A = this chain, B = another copy of it.
Amino acid sequence: MESMMIYMPIAMAILGLIYMWIKKSWVLKQDAGDGKMKEISDYIYEGALAFLSAEYKLLAIFVVIVSVALAAVSFIVPTTHILIVVAFIFGAVFSAFAGNIGMRIATKTNVRTTQAAKTSLPNALKVSFGGGTVMGLGVAGLAVLGLTIFFIIFYNYFMGGAEGVFSVDKMTIVLETLAGFSLGAESIALFARVGGGIYTKAADVGADLVGKVEAGIPEDDPRNPATIADNVGDNVGDVAGMGADLFGSYVATVLAAMVLGNYVIKDMGGSISDAFGGIGPILLPMSIAGIGIIISIIGTMLVKIKSNEAKESQVMAALNLGNWVSIGLVAIACYVLCKWMLPETMQMEFFGEGLQEISSMRVFYATLVGLVVGAVISSVTEYYTGLGKPPILKIVQQSSTGAGTNIIAGLATGMISTFPSVLLFAGAIWTSYAFAGFYGVALAASAMMATTAMQLAIDAFGPISDNAGGIAEMSEQEPIVRERTDILDAVGNTTAATGKGFAIASAALTSLALFAAYVTFTGIDGINIFKAPVLAMLFVGGMIPVVFSALAMNAVGKAAMEMVEEVRRQFREIPGIMEGTGKPEYDKCVAISTEASLKEMMLPGLLTIGFPLIIAFVPMIFGMDNLAIAEMLGGYMAGVTVSGVLWAIFQNNAGGAWDNAKKSFEAGVVINGEMTYKGSEAHKAAVTGDTVGDPFKDTSGPSMNILIKLTCLIGLVIAPILGGHNADESLSDKQEIKKEVRLEIKENNSETAIATIITTTTINGKTTNYIEEVEGTIKEIEKKANEAGNVVSVNIVKKENKIEAAIK
């Protein structure tokens, strides 16, 4: 059984995909409503596919360019294998495919949800959440499937699989090559998130500014030429963007945990003997991911309501039930898997503290940290962005004195919200590290991500319901239909905010795990910010998320302006459009959003990918030492991560808070003792706040996740060039290992002596010394000195291993 564990994640992934297929067939079998509804739904479907195919064309070019670059690198750098190109391409294709599945099912489910809402609310939830489930399982299933298949292929290719002889160095090559898969996935995620984010907000702002404000027609009115683009945007941004984001996180987390698992084996002397072919610590994160798929299926089955009179709170409770049960089951699964798959105690190298004995239970505690963080961050997000919560009420009050004070209050709310969030992350880093080193940090992230399928199902049902409401409006259904979809939409808005919290928490932990994997890969002895170039790069890294956000916001502004012009033109030139007799040219608006978003995502993308490459290769051209470059790049990565997490929390929560402050006016709010509603001056101020918040929460804020993950992944892929290249080239002239045994008879015991074994490693003139004191006869000491090889924890090949013994 144990030896088959390597195939377990594949089996689970396939099970998940089969369940997805069944669920998909069920959703598609549902009634898609009358002709008008189908027509609108088809417009959205086609618009979404038009965006996807335009995006894919562009991404294909990108994938080709990067593949060529990676291939070139693999020819120049001996430690990088050409197979990384294959992994990269498949990572990109799998990610795109996952997004495609999500988008297709979402745009098919929306109209069916509208139709189901005609009969009852429980049915509407069943259909919309069914669509979300398909999306969630598609993403998680493909992620686990792809990663596991490529791992097995590379494991067999480079090492001969379970029959081969395990070697940490060979496994490092396996995982380095596998990093290509993650890089491919994350690259697609970048463009999906940023492009989608620009698309959705450009269409939204364009539709609102001309439709609602200038022409005075309601939201989702079919006379508005941008209304289809607006609904497409919900799918492009919230469904495909979020899906690609979590697909990337999922793959990167598991990969990073596997890399660190390999280093656990290294710290334990280079090999362990367990029932899992000696790679238990590497298989564990994959196994948690595999089990997580099945647990997510169980979780989604629990999400249902019975009463047709249910309100938001009951729908929310149903989602929470499914969510909590799946988190609980993951905790149990982690306990079982940690106990079963890990050695009872492991040795792990703690930086500056030497080797420590870590029990498998402590690894389990680390996974609990991840589960707690995932749960708590949702509550924190909920507090700062939820309807009726103090921060929102405060923003509402500040709206009474105008847009200026509303904006200040919203900004302050987003900024303050970094306080508990960052303390939570800092605590998580510290405790999971204290439990089980960076392997613990990576497994905390893995455990948190195990319920990704469930999280995505909860996330995706929101925009589906939003779309369903739009279709109800456009096809002029009975008000009860819109009321029911509105209940789902309102819950969806809350889950969207908490989902962003989950996404940023996962991105933060994933980046740290990648960061740790990077440091270990390169073989540098840490990132010392007391070195000025490293400190300078910490500054530069910190600046990148800020500039990236600005670029994304400006991109929304530009794209929205183009949309505004087009909508104005149609209102002006198409006769009878306002009377409902002339037909708006929806496709032109869809085309504008598509083109503008793809064009505008270039610059932020270039910034993300270009900067780490410049930092790595420009100093290399000037002959800077590779390890010094590696440390600088590490400083850059840390800067991007810290600043990116801060700006993500700030922007997501400020945006969410403004949104719900505006929504508060729909039910009416008490300001200075008076009930105030939509249309009041205070409401107008709140609408202004929401305009500012839109790009914050839907474009620049969520893009931060990808920015930090992709930055760390690029670092990881470059790592062998910096570290491996160096080790290889400078072996003969710059690196030297000496081992010597110096004996001093401290206790004059005639038979035994106390000896000090010193292992000295000199790399590029920098010397590290490991000292071990042993007691015994000369023979015994010589034996121990021979065994002491594994005290050298730097990632190098030993050239000289001569032992000298002498008694002074």
Residues of A within 8 A of B (CB): 209, 351-354, 398, 401-405, 407-409, 411-413, 415-416, 418-419, 422-423, 425-427, 429-430, 433-434, 438, 441, 512, 516, 519, 526-533, 535-540, 542-543, 546-547, 549-551, 553-554, 556-557, 564, 628, 634-635, 638-639, 642-643, 645-646, 650, 687-692, 695, 760, 762, 765-771, 806, 808
Contacts and interface: CB of A to CB of B under 8 A. Distances in A.
Contacts of A354: 765
16 contacts: A351-B530, A354-B765, A403-B688, A404-B692, A405-B557, A407-B692, A408-B557, A409-B554, A412-B550, A416-B550, A418-B547, A430-B532, A528-B529, A529-B529, A542-B643, A760-B769
A420 to B, nearest CB: 10
B404 A691 contact: yes
Nearest to A768: B769
A546 B412 contact: no
A770 B771 contact: no
Given A646-B542, A770-B767, A808-B806, A535 B638 contact: yes
B426 A540 contact: yes
A355 to B, nearest CB: 11
A200 to B, nearest CB: 16
Contacts of A403: 403-404, 407, 688
B688 A426 contact: no
A427 B770 contact: no
Contacts of A519: 530
Instruction: Tell me the interface secondary structure of chain A in the complex.
Output: helix
A531 B689 CA distance: 41
Contact of A530 (B425, B527, B766): B527
B769 A429 contact: no
Contact of A767 (B407, B642, B771): B771
B429 A536 contact: yes
A398 B557 contact: yes
Contacts of A405: 557, 691
Contacts of A427: 536
Contacts of A550: 411-413, 415-416
Contacts of A402: 688, 691
A511 to B, nearest CB: 11
A799 to B, nearest CB: 17
A351 B531 contact: yes
Given A426-B540, A536-B426, A528 B526 contact: yes
A732 B672 CA distance: 69
A425 B539 contact: yes
A618 to B, nearest CB: 13
A766 B512 CA distance: 25
A423 B766 contact: no
Contacts of A557: 398, 405, 408-409, 412
Contact of A536 (B351, B430, B535): B430
B527 A426 contact: no
Given A553-B411, A695-B408, A516 B530 contact: yes
Nearest to A627: B352
A419 B530 CA distance: 23
A350 to B, nearest CB: 8
A422 B532 contact: no
Nearest to A804: B808
B642 A692 contact: no
A419 B547 contact: yes
Residue from A687, A691, A808 having most chain B Cβ neighbours under 10 A: A691
